Structure formats: C-alpha cells, structure tokens
Amino acid sequence: MPQMTPAKARVVDPVNTRIARGYQHIFAPIANILFPIVPVQERGGTVVEFGPEDFRLINSARAPGTATKRVQFGHAGATYALTDHSLEGQIPVEIGQEAGRAGIDQYQRTIRGVQRLMDVERENQAATIARTAGSYPSANKRVYSTGATQWNDPTSTPIADVEAARQAIRSAIGVYPDTLTISPKVESALSMHPDILATLTDNDIKMATLAQIARALRVERVVVGDGTYHDGTQFVDIWGRDAVLAFTKVATLNDGGSPAYGYTYQLEDMPMVEESYIDRQHKAEIVPITDCRKPVLAGAVAGYLFQTVVAA
C-alpha cells in the first residue's frame, strides 16, 4: 500500500475552506501590498530570478561570417521554506445552540475570527521584516532623530525626503517605486504638513487626503497600516512611527519577473479549514484552521525605510 502523503492525510471541510479563502484580509493591509501572496506547490524551493543583466545595453550588430551573440534570461536565485501556522477555534456547545436560535452562524463567525487573528500575526510579521533597518543598504534607509527633520515638524521636508528615496530606488532597480506605506501617526503628520498643503489648489482645505498626499509625493498610492495588537495592557500600532517606500508590482515568470520588494510564499489551497471535531471534556466543537506561508524580503533595494520619521 503506498504511503499516504501529508496532503492526502488531511481531512478538509471544503465549504468552510472556501469561506476562509474568501475572507477579506482587512487586518493585513500592508502585508498584502509589501508582501503579496504568491501560491507555490511545494513547502520549499528555489525562486527563478531576473537580474539587472536583463537590461544591459548590447550591440547586436553582426559582421558576415561571425557568430551571433547569445543571451540568457533568468537564473536560480533565493530559496524559500514555508512555515506552518495553525489555530483552533472553540465553540462551546451552549454558545453554538444559543447563537443558532438567534440566527447567527457561530461556525462561520469562528472561522472569520481565527482568520482575523492570523491576519494580525501576518501583518506584524511583515512589519517586523520591513522595519528592520539592518536589512537595507545604507542608500535605502534613513533613521530620523528627534528634531526638525521629523515630518511632524513644520520645517521638515517630506517631499524632498521622498524624492531622494525615489531616486535611490530607481538607481538600484531601474524603475520608480509605486507605493508609500505609512503608519497612522505618519499619516497625521503628512496630512497637515505645510509642504503637502501647499500643493493643494483649494485654500480652504486644511487636511490633505491620501490621494492628495500621493500626488504631492509623486507616488501611485499611499496606504495606511492602521493594524494594532493588544499587548495585555494597551493597543500597540504595528507600524509604529515608520514609513516604507517600495516597488510592489508583481510579474509572472513569463513576463520575466519583477524587481518587487517582497512576497509571501503560500502553499496552494491554503488556508484550509479542517473537519471540526467534538472535545467532549470541554463540551465544545473545535474548528482547526491551517495556513502554510513565509514572508520574504526579496529585494531590499526596491524599498526605502523611513524610521522614526515622526515624534512619539
């Protein structure tokens, strides 16, 4: 008898797996952008990369009788290894019965609740990677000390700062970044900054929108990471006082890849909801949910970290 693979060994609830996969990841707004999900078929492997050599200036002229120049695209690049993540939602029998009588599907609410917790974890993982200054070359980061350079100071120069970052990224990957991700504290500072407000045409406007901030900073979009987690005492801003400028557009293998900032490699058909079971000791229905993923900073030179860019 052939050995059962892990995939065959799993018992999956197909209906509620669709609920889990269809859940909108509203609690991981920046992770979805800086580290977009890329499905993979194996738990580990090698990524095909396309480097700057694909953009060389080559003289293709050929003299009669001479060999034609040859070029090759793509090479085996970085490896990845996925990490398993699992949580079990618990539905006490009494709660499930009362919810059912009230017309509430406690089963689906539990699935979404677990997904929400996994989203918060994924967003925090993304922030931990993106906010680590040591991961960036010196040309792709700036650590702000307290004083006039921080963007909440009216004499600071956020437009000039972002423009310098745009040029640093373009010099490294050949294209301009498209997205600026910011924390709520950074959004507050930029929305009322004199340099940003000076670009508006309506003199009565006292606070800039995200679209207006994006236009002033010459990026396609500005995204606020307003995710928080509770540390047992208070809610903590996942993105703190930082901002990240990055090129985030994903391209297929056939398109020659993309010099994107990061990815989240996720095993195909994940997340999945396994078949629930009854815990008789606690008189509860247990709903296991599993994911298998790994966020990876694929190209730090495609990003720029503004650290402690506003005062506490």
| Structural domains for the chain | 9-50+81-307 (3.90.1690.10)
Least confident of 19-23, 110-114, 166-170, 193-197: 19-23
Instruction: Provide the pLDDT confidence category of residue 214 given band limits of 50, 70 and 90.
Output: very high
Whether residue 289 has pLDDT greater than 70:
yes
> How confident is the model at residue 9, as a pLDDT?
40
Name the 3-class secondary structure at 43.
coil
Residues 6+ apart with CB under 8 A from 260: 36, 247, 248, 249, 250, 251, 298, 299, 302
What Å distances lie between residue 225 and 59, 70, 250, 257, CA to CA? Answer: 46, 46, 20, 27
Query: Mean pLDDT, to the nearest integer, of 91-96?
Result: 77
Higher-pLDDT residue of 52 and 225 is 225
Is residue 258 within 8 A of residue 31, CB to CB? The reply is: no
Whether residue 68 has pLDDT greater than 80:
no
- Please state whether the predicted TM-score (pTM) of the whole model is above 0.75: yes
- What is the residue whose two structure tokens read 């730090």? 300
Output the average pLDDT for the chain. 83
Is residue 91 within 8 A of residue 279, CB to CB? The reply is: no
Instruction: Provide the pLDDT confidence category of residue 102 given band limits of 50, 70 and 90.
Output: low
- Alpha-carbon distance of 176 to 169, in angstroms, equals 6
Is residue 88 within 8 A of residue 277, CB to CB? The reply is: no
**Cβ neighbours around 269 below 10 Å, total:** 14
Q: Which residues are bridge partners to 224 per DSSP?
A: 182
Tell me whether the omega of the peptide bond preceding residue 137 falls within 30 degrees of 0, making it cis. Answer: no
Phi, psi of 161 (to 5 degrees): -65, -45
> How confident is the model at residue 92, as a pLDDT?
82
> How confident is the model at residue 8, as a pLDDT?
40
- Alpha-carbon distance of 145 to 287, in angstroms, equals 47
* 204 token code pair: 């009565």
Whether residue 311 has pLDDT greater than 50:
yes
